[in-house]
Structure 1
Amino acid sequence: MAWRPGARFPYAPGMLPWSSPLAGRIEHDILHSELLRDNPLGDPHERPVYVYLPPGYDDSDRRYPVVYVIQGYTGHVGMWFNRPPFRRPYPELADDVFATGDTPPAILVYVDAWTAFGGSQFLDSPATGRYHSYLCDEVVPWVDGRYRTLADPAHRAISGKSSGGYGAMITPMLRPDLFGALATHAGDALFEVCYLPDFPRAARMLRDGYESDYANFLADHAQRLHGTKDTDLELIEVYGYAAAYSGNEDGSVSLPFDELGVLVPDVWARWLANDPVRMAAEPHHAEALRAMKAIWIDAGRGDEYYLDFGATAFRRALTTAGVSDDNVHFELFDGRHGGIEYRYPLALAWLCERIAG
């Protein structure tokens, strides 16, 4: 029967425009980070950490695998609870994965790595702070010390989208002693495809609005609300990437392009050294990838940043590195860069099947 004006619209379960009850529960806490204290940007060293405990956690003494969940650029941990129209936020979608008991339960940890530039790429950088070390050397032991975790890499995964997907790819390569599985959704990879188009656009924005000087943009941006100029997001994002990939020991940032948008080769080489596709080709990283229990890779075929090509290149790099096909899920789906949160619980269930105790 077709819906008609005046008829009561039947909401699907969980589709109310406000919060839905969880089968599990989420604890909100604050981690006082020594590694982020006195960071170069003066960002808070006290960071929120949200920990999801699955149904049944309080009723037994069993230990659980852990999935760390990280965000894309300009994301902070509180944004996980934003409720877009006709959609549900990821914490509810993730709870659904465990509510029926069909998927092995896991603890989820929502990590904050926000900076004044909008993100950290989950790397240590002298221009932003020690966010990779914060995640690995403070958040992970903090969680293991407070919750009943299976505290070894075979039972610990990391998942993210976009810049979070980038962090999910590089973190297990850098710390295979901690992470043995990952899910990357449209993660930043194949840098010459996903980043190069940004450089001449940013150079033009700087020329037309800021006399080709990033210092002028940063000074202007700091004294008004972000987003009140059309160029804000693109300029702060490019600078934030540069701060992560080519920050200098004195806290300054080297740009990978000049005032004409032309590559600066030595700086660009520093960026490429952080490309997951290239990292996977290095022998010690390839060894780490071969040892992983599960690697999920996906992206939308219409991704505006061409991260479908990055996903494909990373998948090919895994094959070259000798990673078993049995441990990899690769998929290109119909979609773009945004509005793909429905993909996250698919990967979560797949990961949990493989890292369960």
Structure 2
Amino acid sequence: MLPWSAELAGRIESGVVDSALLRGNRLGDPHERPIHVYLPPGYDDSDRRYPVVYTIQGYTGHVRMWFNRMPFRRPFPELADEVFANGTPPAIVVYVDAWTGVGGSQFLDSPATGRYHSYLCDEVVPWVDARYRTVADREHRAVAGKSSGGYGAMVTPMLRPDVFGSLATHAGDALFEVSYQPDFPRVARLLRDEYGGSYDAFLADWRGRLHGTRESDSDLIEMYGYAAAYSGNEDGSVDLPFDDTGALVPDVWARWLALDPALMADRPEYRDAVRSLDSIWIDAGTRDEYHLDFGAVAYRRALDRAGVADEKVHFELFDARHGAIEYRYPLSLAWLCERFPTRG
């Protein structure tokens, strides 16, 4: 296996989305965002229109990280290209950037981070449709991701069923009481012992030095990033779902639970949206450190209770941890592409 880039059967174009919705966001993050669009083999040889799979990243991910190479492994853009080179019905694959200054957005609209949900649905999708030969309807659009990207893949079609008709979630954030809540006392202790219980003190210190030079950096910024997405306030402040003892703050925790996909899929206001989905891929590793295999099970059961037909769903638990599961992404990509409706 070559340690450098392989030649693709299709090709990737790069562009910039100038987002009006992200302009002036609270974190001061760029409103011009890179985007990469994969065009499958044969795209230039006909006037055919194609379905589109939007690929979104996990927490701390940014769009260029899709091209990172690990020893003896290939990055997803090459694995995706191989899917189509081997005869899977072709599709356009879009690599979306939703990086923020706190490491991620959860692909939600939050006054503390920015309007990343609306940016994806109302700016990125029209940008792609305007420039490429897409089949511009929900039945021919899917959203896929891992971890926080898997979270975005679950919630985006519930919030905007008019835009996306299919999804794939790999170890997506769900069942918050199992995946997030156990970390609250540990993070509260880190915050107390290192920063006097103050996130303002942590952020002031963290922003003035290189990330990772203190052992607690990743745990503290990740929890803050989730809180900024789930419980950010109109003035840009962020409420934590736990107090200085690590115990739940009920009203803030309720805001988090309102955005838990395993609970959302059970609620009447989202039931029609989940039933309308054409294809849903769910998987997770049985040794996932964040217990997102249990989140996957909970989300699958919620779909059952909502009345989603079994034939629409692929559910699988496999032997793995949370990281290094990029080999799963081409499996869901092929499955989604084989299930897009054929245009008559």
The 5 Å alignment of 1:1-357 reads 15-101=1-87, 103-357=88-342
Structure 1 residues 97-122: Cα deviation after superposition (integer angstroms, max 9, x where no partner): 00122x10000000000000000000
Give the TM-score normalised by the residue count of structure 1: 0.95
The letter of the residue matching 1:342 is Y
Instruction: Give the Cα–Cα distance (whole angstroms) in 2 for the partners of residues 339 and 79 of structure 1.
Output: 13
Instruction: Give the Cα–Cα distance (whole angstroms) in 1 for the partners of residues 184 and 302 of structure 2.
Output: 26
Structure 1 residues 265-298: Cα deviation after superposition (integer angstroms, max 9, x where no partner): 0000000000001110122311111111100000
The letter of the residue matching 1:104 is P
Please state how far the C-alpha of 1:86 moved relative to its aligned partner.
0.9
**Residues 64 and 356, structure 1, Cα contact 8 Å, conserved in 2:** no
The letter of the residue matching 2:200 is A
Instruction: Give the Cα–Cα distance (whole angstroms) in 1 for the partners of residues 224 and 341 of structure 2.
Output: 40
The letter of the residue matching 1:179 is F
Structure 1 residues 118-144: Cα deviation after superposition (integer angstroms, max 9, x where no partner): 000000000000000000000000100
User: How many equivalent residue pairs?
Assistant: 342
Please state how far the C-alpha of 1:170 moved relative to its aligned partner.
0.2
**Residues 67 and 159, structure 1, Cα contact 8 Å, conserved in 2:** yes
Q: What is the percentage of aligned positions where both structures have the same residue?
A: 76
Structure 1 residues 117-174: Cα deviation after superposition (integer angstroms, max 9, x where no partner): 0000000000000000000000000100000001101100000000000000000000
The letter of the residue matching 1:49 is I
**Residues 90 and 344, structure 1, Cα contact 8 Å, conserved in 2:** yes
Instruction: Give the Cα–Cα distance (whole angstroms) in 1 for the partners of residues 268 and 48 of structure 2.
Output: 37
Tell me which stretches of 4 or more aligned residues in structure 1 moved more than 6 Å: none
SS of 2:95's partner is: strand
Structure 1 residues 58-87: Cα deviation after superposition (integer angstroms, max 9, x where no partner): 000000000000000000000000001111
Instruction: Give the Cα–Cα distance (whole angstroms) in 1 for the partners of residues 341 and 28 of structure 2.
Output: 39
Map of 1:10 onto structure 2: none
CA RMSD of superposed structures (Å):
0.6
The letter of the residue matching 1:29 is G
The letter of the residue matching 1:190 is L
**Residues 203 and 261, structure 1, Cα contact 8 Å, conserved in 2:** yes
SS of 2:321's partner is: coil
**Residues 65 and 356, structure 1, Cα contact 8 Å, conserved in 2:** no
Please state how far the C-alpha of 1:356 moved relative to its aligned partner.
4.5
Instruction: Give the Cα–Cα distance (whole angstroms) in 1 for the partners of residues 136 and 260 of structure 2.
Output: 28
